[in-house]
Amino acid sequence: MKFPVSVFLSLAIVLSLTYCVKDKTIVIVNPPPIGCTQTDSFLLPVHDTVYSIPFPWQAPLGWQVMVNRRYQYFTPCFNPNNPNEMVYVRQDRTVSLTTCELRIFDLCTGEDRLLYPFGYLGAHPQWSKTGWIVFKAAVGSLWKIRSSGQGLVQLTYGNDQLAVWSPDGSKILFKRFGFNIILCDSNGVILDTLTQLLGGGNWSWGIPDKLTIATNNSPTGYGVGYFDFNLNEYVLVKALDLNNNNCLLLRSTLWFNQNRDIIYSFICGIEATNVSAGQTTTIKRWR
């Protein structure tokens, strides 16, 4: 049986194209992030490594921390109107250990710009839908600034921190003296003190009447849940056991998966728990 030349050539073309596609698939190891069109050089692929080294506080003979790198990067917060833009804190250890820059980074273009030079190390910048960013400054407590860098306004004068915007950007919730929970309007005028949230922290306000929150107070115990402003009650969604190693020490909580889940980060990784079913999914594990 003989193949016509045209059939043979067609087969050769198909095979060569298949090879090219395979080759291209292998070569591209760093595809652009979702929503971006270009392959980047500023997002480095990372192997999913789970460390098994002990925690420093578990070292039986004491421990000592060394920090060699000049810049450290903290507390990213996405622009609620642009999924490729975030504000974050940059510490320059050659300048100050506590006064840090607030900067804005574009995940698609790699553009990085200074927003405000005198933020606090724990500035915890939070970006509202109205375009304002609230943060703790090195001096003078909470401030807000437009993402353009204009309109800097001092909001409070106490020892305040961990401010978050309401979903519509009309109110701010923050912690004063590391203890009292204060609700104010977008200009810093105090509206209420929420004693029900004592012992809570690491919150986010993604739904108008529900605040995700991490708690460490009795009788709720340590875990992740939400505070319902309408019912004036806290609902524990996921109890966590610190188990003496601080692996599950919570760092942040957020509404996730169209508000069906609460996603939370802790020292060893990230998990999400479905609010109604209580089912937990591991998103990432570092240790």
Q: What secondary structure does DSSP assign to 101-145, as a single string?
A: EEEEEETTT--EEEEEEEEETT---EE-TTSEEEEEBSSSSEEEE
Positive or negative: CA dihedral 279, 284, 285, 286: negative
Beta pairing, strands 132-136 & 71-79: unpaired
Q: Which of 32, 45, 48 is nearest to 107 (CA)?
A: 32
C-beta of 176 vs 212, nearer to another protein: 212
Candidates 66-74, 188-196, 213-221, 238-246: pick the segment binding another protein (CB under 8 A). Answer: 66-74
Candidates 15-23, 139-147, 182-190, 265-273: pick the segment binding another protein (CB under 8 A). Answer: 265-273
Site track 75-114 with another protein (rule: CB under 8 A), x = hit: xxxxxxxxxx-x-x-xx-----------x-x-x--x-x--
The reply to whether 33 sits near another protein by the rule CB under 8 A is yes
Residue among 26, 27, 29, 34 that touches another protein (CB under 8 A) = 34
The reply to whether 163 sits near another protein by the rule CB under 8 A is no
Backbone φ and ψ for 6, nearest 5 degrees, come out as: -65, -40
C-beta of 43 vs 236, nearer to another protein: 43
Residue among 19, 73, 157, 177 that touches another protein (CB under 8 A) = 73
The reply to whether 117 sits near another protein by the rule CB under 8 A is no
Residue among 6, 37, 68, 187 that touches another protein (CB under 8 A) = 68
The reply to whether 27 sits near another protein by the rule CB under 8 A is no
CB 189 within 8 A of CB 182: no
The reply to whether 26 sits near another protein by the rule CB under 8 A is no
CB 210 within 8 A of CB 196: no
The reply to whether 277 sits near another protein by the rule CB under 8 A is no
Single-letter code of the amino acid located at 71:
Y
How far is Cα 202 from Cα 253, in angstroms, rounded to an integer?
A: 6
C-beta of 133 vs 188, nearer to another protein: 133
Beta pairing, strands 250-256 & 82-92: unpaired
Side-chain-side CA neighbours of 252 within 13 Å: the count stands at: 19
Q: Write out the residues near another protein by the rule CB under 8 A.
A: 30-31, 33-35, 41-46, 48, 51, 53, 56, 59, 61-84, 86, 88, 90-91, 103, 105, 107, 110, 112, 251-252, 254, 256-258, 263-265, 267, 270, 282-284, 286
